Amino acid sequence: MALRDTPLPETAGPVPSAPADAAPPPAPALDPTDRGRLLAGAHHDPHALLGAHPVPGGIAFRALRPFAREVSVVVDGARTPLVSEGDGLFSGLLPLDAVPAYTLAVAYGEDAAVEVHDPYRFLPALGEFDLHLIGEGRHEELWTALGAHPMTHQGVTGTRFTVWAPNAQGVRLAADFTHWDGTAFPMRSLGSSGVWELFLPGVGEGTCYKFEIHSRYGHRFLKADPMARRTEAPPNTASVVTSSDYVWGDAEWLERRAEVPVHEAPFSVYEVHLPSWRPGSTYRQLAEQLPAYVKDLGFTHVELMPVAEHPFGPSWGYQVTGFYAPTARLGSPDDFKFLVDALHRAGIGVIMDWVPAHFPKDDWALARFDGDPLYEPGDSRRAEHPDWGTYTFDFARTEVRNFLVANAVYWCQEFHIDGLRVDAVASMLYLDYSREDGQWEPNAHGGREDLAAVAFLQEMNATVYRRCPGVVTIAEESTAWGGVTRPTDTGGLGFGLKWNMGWMHDSLEYVAHEPVHRKYHHHEMTFAMVYAYSENYVLPISHDEVVHGKQALVSKMPGDWWQRRANVRAYLGFMWAHPGKQLLFMGQEFAQGAEWSEEQGPEWWLLDDGYHSAGDHRGVRDLVRDLNAHYRATPALWQRDTDPAGFRWVAVDAADDNVFAFLRYDAEGRPLLAVSNFSPVVRHAYALGVGDDVVAWREILNTDAAHYGGGNVTNPDPVKPEDGLVRLTLPPLATVWLAPVDL
C-alpha cells in the first residue's frame, strides 16, 4: 500500500535521484513519548515534531511518510536525502542558519520520486478571530471556518481541513489518496478551541476524506466531516472537498421577496419529496419540470422535504447526517442551486424542511463524534430520542447551538432558500416529550420546558431574520405552546408561521365521517376559529397525513368514487378560503387514491389519456389550479390572515344542514363569501345573513362545476341580498365562493 502524493504544479516529471553520499546526519531523536503519540495519531501538535525546526547545529527536517522508499529535502534545486528512522519517519540535520524555502521529494516502491510541498511547513490557515467566534458560539458563517476549503495559503494551492473535536487526543486526515489510512497526516490542535487544523497542499476539489479520531479512551475511528458541504452518494459515506462556481440568476427575486410580510401575502405551498416526485430525476432534470408544473398550478412556493444528506432513503430525509450538504443522490450542490434558481426565475419561492431536533446514531457521523457525547447531551436520558431511536442535540452547549444556527443561515445564504420549515419543534420544547416519569428531570424552575431549546430557537430565528431579509421560518409545533410566532424581543420563539396541526386533525376527522353523522361533529370545523389569531398559521395537508395507513386524502372520504371526489373538492375549497396559509402534499392535487410511497412517488399515470378515470383526476387538478388563481387574485383571502377583523362567521351553527359560511375581508374592507355544504343534497334558496353592504354577489368558484367533475349545480346569475339575506343554491358536497359585483 502506498500513499499518493500530488506533485507540485510546476514539476514536469520525476525528480532525479540524489547521490548516495549526500545524506546528512539524522535530526535529534524525538522524545519517545512524543514519537509514540505521533505515530499513534494521538499528538496534539504534530507540526512541532514534523517539518523544519532550528536546533543546535542547523535545521532539523523530519517527515512522516509511511511506506515511502525514500524522502529528500529539496532546497534551491538541490536534493538531500533524509535518513529513515523507521515507522515511516525520515529526518536529517542540514547545516543551515535559518529555515529555508523547501519542498520534499518522495518516492514509493519502484516509482521515481515526486516533488511535493510539506504540509508541516505551513502556519495555521485559520485565523484567531475565527477561533474567537467559534469559542463564543457566535460564528454565524461557521461553514467558512470549519470543514474542507480549497484555497491558496502562503502562495500554495491546496485544501484547509478543520474540525471541532475537543475531547479527541488526536485527529488525522484519512482520504481516498491515503487508502483511508490517516498515519501520514496528523492535524494540530489550535489552542483551547477544540478545533484541529491541517493545510494539505495539492489536494483539491473532488477528494474524498474523513477524519480519523483518536479518543481519550484509546479508540480510533473514522468520522465524516460534520461541516462537509458535499458528500458521496449513499450508501457511501465519505465527505467530499468542494467549491462552488455557480452564478445565480435570481437577483430580481431576492430583491423583492421582502417587500411584503409573509403573513400579509399570498402563500400557497406545494410540498415535494424530490427523490420521488419524478423517480430517477436529478436536480437539473427536476429544474426542467418542477418549476413549470408548480407555476401552472399557481402555487406560490414549494416545500422540499429534507434535502440535507441522509443515509437511509425511507427516512425521507428526516434523519440527517450531512447538515451542510444537499443529498448527493440527485447531484452536486451546484446542481441543487440550479434547481432553486430555476424555481425563483419561475416566480416560485423555495421552503426547505430543516431538522435540528435530532440526528441518527450512525457510527461514522455525529454520534459520539470524538469518543464522547459532543453534539448530544451527556445525560443519556436527555440524549436519546424515545420515538425515533436517534440522539437529540445538546442545545445548552455553545458550539452545538452555533453549529445549528449557522446551518440555518447557511441554507438561506448560500442556497437562497426562502423559508425553513422546522421539523418536530414540540419534541425540542419539552423535557418530558414522549418520556415517562423518572425518564426526565425538571428545569431549574421545576418546569417541563427545555429552556436551552427555547433559547436556541429564539437565537436561530432572530439570526435568520436579521441576516436574510424576506426569509420565513415555519414551526411544525403540535402543542399549545404560547408565542410560537411572537417576536423574540417580547418573549416569543420568533417564528414567522406555525403549522396548524389542530385544524388539520379536526377538519380531517370531520370529513371522514358519513354526511349523516357530520352534524354531531360540526364543532370540529369551527373550533379552529377560536384560536385562529393566536398565531400566524399554515393549514397543512402534508406527507404525514397520507402515509402509514392514514390513506390518501381522497381515500379518507366516505361514499362512492363520485362522492369521495366531491368531498375532496369541497374540503379544498373550504381550506383555501379559511384563514391561514395553505400547504398540499404532492399527489393530492389530482386525488391520488393510494398512499404516498417514497419508492414510487405520485401516480402520474392516473392523468394519462389511456386511463379511464383520467378526467376525474384532471378535474381535481383543474380545481386546485383555479383555487390558487382566485386565491392569489383575491386579497381578502390572505391580506388579513392574522387580523380578526378580516373574518366574520355567516353560518357557524348550521350543524343539521352541514353548512358553513363566512366572510373574508381585505385591507380595504372588500369581502369574499365562502359557503360549504358538506351534505349530499342540494339546498335551494338557502338564506345567509350577509348584510346589505354589497349590492350583489357573483359566484366566482364552485367546486361542483362540471369541468371539475361535479354535477354543475351553480348560481349562474348575480344574487342580490334582500333585507340583509342572500339566498343561494348550495350544490351537494361542494364549496362556492362569491365576490361582490357592481350592477
Q: Quick one: DSSP state of residue 719?
A: B
Catalytic residues: 423, 476
User: Is the bond leading into 235 cis (omega within 30 degrees of zero)?
Assistant: yes
Strands 390-392 and 384-385: antiparallel
CB–CB of 566/572 below 8 Å? Answer: no
Q: Rounded to whole angstroms, how far apart are CA atoms 332 and 207?
A: 14
Grid cell of 543 as nine digits: 406527507
Q: Which residues contact 683 (CB under 8 A, 6 or more apart)?
A: 657, 659, 677, 729, 730
- State the burial class of residue 415 (Cβ atoms within 10 Å of its Cβ: 0-12, 13-18, 19+): buried
Please measure the distance between the N-terminal and C-terminal CA atoms of the chain and give it in whole angstroms: 89
Q: Which residues contact 251 (CB under 8 A, 6 or more apart)?
A: none
Share of the chain residues as helix, strand and coil, in percent rounded to the nearest 5: 30, 25, 45
CA distances to 55, 310, 379, 598, 713 from 235, rounded to whole Å, are: 49, 10, 31, 17, 55
Determine the longest span between alpha carbons in the chain, in angstroms. Answer: 115
Grid cell of 415 as nine digits: 442556497
Q: Rounded to whole angstroms, how far apart are CA atoms 719 and 696?
A: 5
Q: Which residues contact 413 (CB under 8 A, 6 or more apart)?
A: 141, 467, 468
Q: Which residues contact 601 (CB under 8 A, 6 or more apart)?
A: 273, 276, 277, 278, 279, 586, 587
Angle subtended at Cα 475 by Cα 555 and Cα 135, rounded to the nearest 5 degrees: 140
Q: Cα Rg for the chain, rounded, in angstroms?
A: 32
- Residue whose grid cell is 359585483: 741
Identify residue 284 by its one-letter amino acid code.
R
Grid cell of 466 as nine digits: 436579521
Identify residue 323 by its one-letter amino acid code.
F
CA distances to 192, 494, 542, 555, 710 from 564, rounded to whole Å, are: 64, 39, 19, 7, 11
CB–CB of 229/332 below 8 Å? Answer: no
CA distances to 303, 504, 567 from 549, rounded to whole Å, are: 23, 17, 20
Strands 268-272 and 358-359: unpaired
Crossing angle (nearest 10°) for helices 451-467 and 398-414? 30
Identify residue 132 by its one-letter amino acid code.
H
Look at phi and psi of residue 41 and say left if phi exceeds 0, alpha if psi is from -120 to 50, else beta: left
Grid cell of 152 as nine digits: 491558496
Q: Rounded to whole angstroms, how far apart are CA atoms 361 and 391?
A: 7
Q: Rounded to whole angstroms, how far apart are CA atoms 661 and 675?
A: 4
> What pairs with residue 538 in β-bridges?
499, 581
- Residue whose grid cell is 534551491: 76
